[in-house]
Amino acid sequence: MESKEKLREKYFEKRQSLSNEYIKKKSQVITHKLDEYIEEKNYKDIMIFVSFRNEVNTHGIIKKWLKDNEKNVYVPYIDKKLDEMKISKINDFENDLTPGVFDILEPREELKGSSSRKDLDLIVVPGLIFSKQGYRIGYGGGYYDMFLSKIKSRVDRIGIVCSEFIVDELPVDSYDLPVDLIITEQESIKAEG
């Protein structure tokens, strides 16, 4: 099996080659399915990443949830002093977010530190590639694995990704934590892990 670094490089290149139109189309289907699943399961306190580059675009779904005002939306940011990921609740997409680490939109300074991981009942996890067992390869920073490992209560985890970034198997390290469900534009995969 190829190493994580090799796989990361290969699939990052593949994702960067996708057109904006392609990503937009797939993202609409994926986030619609995610929204339906969340409604069905009645999740209220949701952590979701703010997409950048060619990730599944989450901007539209975040704006919808904020407008509907039925969910509490938490977005991640990197605490540079502690070099770890934290979350903050946001209420307004346009006014509560600002470019942060790696130019990813994150909560404005005055919103940071206002939320804790024990507020969550669902985490929407990004990934470059996911295996059918629910494991993922991200960008190599380890922030999500560290964040997930510190959650004491049972919080559901969903990965969202385009179908061509699902593989049969990935190399797994002891600190890797799987998601429970992966939603693509083609199917929803209950993780086997």
Residue 118: what pLDDT? 76
Distance CA 61, CA 47 (A): 12
The pLDDT confidence band at residue 193, using thresholds 50, 70 and 90, is low
Distance CA 80, CA 101 (A): 8
Residue 154: what pLDDT? 81
Q: Which of 22-26, 29-33, 110-114 has the weakest average pLDDT?
A: 110-114
Nearby residues of 129 by Cβ (< 8 Å), 6 or more positions away: 7, 8, 11, 136, 137, 161, 165, 166, 167, 170
Distance CA 96, CA 79 (A): 17
Q: Residues 108-129: pLDDT tens digits?
A: 999 997 777 777 999 999 999 9
Distance CA 93, CA 64 (A): 10
For each of the domains in the chain, give its residue range(s) and CATH number, in order of start: 4-190 (3.40.50.10420)
Write down the pTM of the prediction.
0.94
